[in-house]
A and B are shown apart, each in its own frame.
Chain A
Amino acid sequence: MKIVAVTACTVGVAHTYIARDKLEAAAVKRGHAIQVETQGNVGIEDELSPEAIRDADIVILAADVTVAHQERFARKKVVRVPSVVAIKQADQLIGKIEDKLGVK
């Protein structure tokens, strides 16, 4: 499946980027396409394109703070978790999304 995700943490210098790395690694390992946007304290990096969001099967928001520009995800399927879930349990997170969406 196609995943888009946004990661953000409180201070915006460390966990934001660890969460991105872990999500990308877990998604690739399980055979999914993924794009991750980071919202650290320097601002938005690797911003998700409207096309990527339109084509995505699921949106993962792994954030401890309010994610900016959430109106982009209107009418999408969205999963909200703290960044720590993406960091520690990225594999289970994506596995459980597979189960819930009935994707192999």
Chain B
Amino acid sequence: MAKCRINTGPMMTGISYMIPVICLGGILQSFGTMLGGSSVGSDTTSFAGMLYAGGTISMNMVVPVLAAYIAYGICDRPGIAPGLMIGVLSVNYKIGFVGGIIGGYAVGYFLRFMKEKIPLNKNLQSLMPLLILPILGGLFSILLMDYVVGPLLGGLQSFLVGLFAELQAGPRIVFGLVMGAMMGVDFGGPVTKIATTVANGLVADGVLGPEGAKVCCGIVPALGLGLATFLFPQKFTRAERATGPSTIVLGCAQVGEGGLPYLLRDPLHVMPAGIAGSAVTGAIAMFFNVGSPVMMGGFFAFPVMQNIFPGAFIAVAAGVAVEILLVALIKKTVTGEDELDELSGLDDASGDVDFEISIEEG
């Protein structure tokens, strides 16, 4: 049974360690915004400002943690230090998840190869994990990120940001539609960042409409998926349903990343729902001229936003409704392979179990 497939184990390890970091950062940012209002980003003395700043620090650690534990999943502990570094590099190039995943896999396999190939005198063995592997991994990360992946993907990203910014001259509903669609593609990933970079930049120029639409769109993907786990439980695995409530909270706090586990398990059916829902929200929010001076917060930011009633509420409700409807229509009912549902009655007595018994080295 030699099936060719991508090794997703390391990716799952990375996601597993990443999830709590997202939850921590997103919720703190939202609470900070709710308590501190629109100036919370530049406020360093109040409790609200500290909450927001702490949340931002945590959100900046999301991709480093993902990259580090992808590498850890491949080459064990030596991968963590260079993995963290390549993740931060990816954040600096504004290529987020994509850069972090590429970087984590690359540095992980590089170090595993090095671990096996470098012959070392027994006396020098202790230098391997402490000195040689981290430094080799760090050099590799810098070469890969600063000379190849960063400029390539980063350049593509800024080109697209420029392209998207030009769209702002057109009808604002179209702008909202496109921005929402982009935010529904990867729930906080690099495509989202193209849209949010433009919206965030316009706030500095005093144009608050796109940012208002952005806050509304950011709520939709995770909130819709979380609610859908309750309305259409047959479309979700047991683990997905178990994380439903926390996904709803993350959605309300505008942490689109809360929807990532759903997106990664079933991208073909979740992505269209996310795109459509978020696009509807973006268009409606732009139509009603919903404006926001703050970048984060979701529902918690509504008190400091403009024209929220009824515009923002209609926008979010319509987007969520569209997303849930599409989940109901196109997402397949979970069965067989990915369904591990009830504790009884799913034993698969027909399939053969295939595994090797290996003796561990050491």
Contact = CB atoms under 8 A, between A and B. Distances in A.
A100 B340 CA distance: 27
Given A79-B357, A96-B353, A96-B355, A88 B12 contact: no
A78 interface: yes
Interface string B105-116: 000000000000
A88 B362 contact: no
B360 A13 contact: no
A34 to B, nearest CB: 16
B358 A78 contact: yes
B357 A97 contact: yes
Given A11-B16, A66-B10, A91-B347, A84 B355 contact: no
Contacts of B343: 18, 21-22
A93 B72 contact: no
Q: Chain B interface residue count: which class? A: 20 to 34
A33 interface: no
Interface in A1-40: 9-15, 18, 21-22
Contact of A88 (B9, B72, B340, B352): B340
Q: Chain A interface residue count: which class? A: 35 or more
Nearest to B69: A66
Given A14-B242, A64-B9, A76 B360 contact: yes
Nearest to A84: B340
Contacts of B19: 11, 41
Interface in A62-98: 64-66, 70-71, 73-81, 84-85, 87-93, 96-97
Nearest to B14: A65
Interface string B1-40: 0000000011011011001100000000000000000000
Contacts of B357: 58, 77-79, 97, 100-101
Contact of A10 (B12, B351, B352, B361): B12
A84 to B, nearest CB: 6
Contacts of B16: 9-12, 41, 65
Contacts of A92: 349, 351-353
B267 interface: no
- A14, A66, A101 interface centre (most CB from chain B within 10 Å): A66
Given A14-B238, A65-B13, A71 B243 contact: no
B210 interface: no
B359 A88 contact: no
Contact of B12 (A14, A59, A64): A64
- B72, B73, B360 interface centre (most CB from chain A within 10 Å): B360
A70 B362 CA distance: 10
Contacts of B349: 89, 91-92
B239 interface: yes
B360 A74 contact: yes
Contact of A89 (B15, B242, B347): B347
Given A13-B243, A88-B346, A80 B362 contact: no
Given A11-B242, A11-B243, A64-B12, 12 more contacts: A13-B239, A14-B242, A21-B343, A41-B20, A59-B360, A65-B12, A66-B9, A80-B358, A87-B346, A88-B340, A89-B347, A92-B349
17 contacts: A10-B16, A11-B243, A14-B242, A18-B340, A18-B343, A22-B343, A58-B357, A71-B362, A74-B360, A77-B358, A79-B357, A80-B358, A88-B346, A88-B348, A89-B351, A92-B353, A93-B353
Interface of B: 9-10, 12-13, 15-16, 19-20, 69, 72-73, 76, 238-239, 242-243, 261, 340, 343, 346-349, 351-353, 355-362
